[in-house]
Amino acid sequence: TRCSRDWSSDVCSSDLFVTATGTDIGKTFVTAGLIRHLRRLGHKVDAFKPVLSGFEMDGAKASDAGQLLAALEQNVTLETLDRMAPWRFTAPLSPDIAAAHEKRSIDFQALVSACRVKAADRHHTLFIEGVGGVMVPLDARHTVLDWMVELNIPVILVTGSYLGTISHTLTALSVLSAHNLNIRAVVVNETPGGVSMDETMATIGRFAPGIPLCPLSRTTRQDVVDEAMATLWRAVA
């Protein structure tokens, strides 16, 4: 991937931040899918999911960090987990609350610095995956939005086809745009039992012209997923 440096940021503009309209929307599925797609193309790629709530060591392989490590074909060990997700919390709550339950906190500047260190290798594409949705609190003063603004790299927004997604998606897009973040694409991940994907896509498209919309069907067919990831990468690369 060609990297054109953004001198207002310490992060390469070929890197991407994956965020969502909420939790359990599909950020990790999309990130892992893009990792596998780029690896098949022969690209060097890495991922970083620095903040993770609801983590249990017994379920490490199935966790978001475990899934990203699997996509990178790395074993799930304490060492690789520490590299992938250094801020891990047990409670399935927003990071600020989950950290407080453990009498811990997230050092926001340390978080931003860790991302910049990860992005220092200009020879690969880095996917930084957020936690929860755009406005999830990280500490008493900072949200995921503040994190994205500090890094100032292009964003992929993942949403669903559930009832209410249009409002959530347009609100997220408005907030991201108001902070001058580069929105590369919106992934509409099909929600089981949700509303029409076609109608959802068409409505979002009317209110967000110029932003690529990429549907992701809920399927077990790997060839369908692979083609969706190829289409998404063409949109964001």
**Residue corresponding to tokens 């992934």:** 187
CA 83 to chain centre: 17
Residue 220 CB contacts under 8 Å (≥ 6 apart), including other chains: none
List the one residue out of 159, 129, 158, 154 whose CA is nearest residue 144.
Answer: 129
Options 44, 49, 103, 118, the catalytic residue? 49
**Cα–Cα dist 197/23, whole Å:** 19
Read off the tokens for 237.
Answer: 């690369």
Read off the tokens for 118.
Answer: 């990860």
Q: Is 49 a catalytic residue?
A: yes
Query: Cα-Cα-Cα-Cα dihedral of 21, 13, 179, 191, to 10°?
Result: -10
Q: Which residues are catalytic?
A: 49
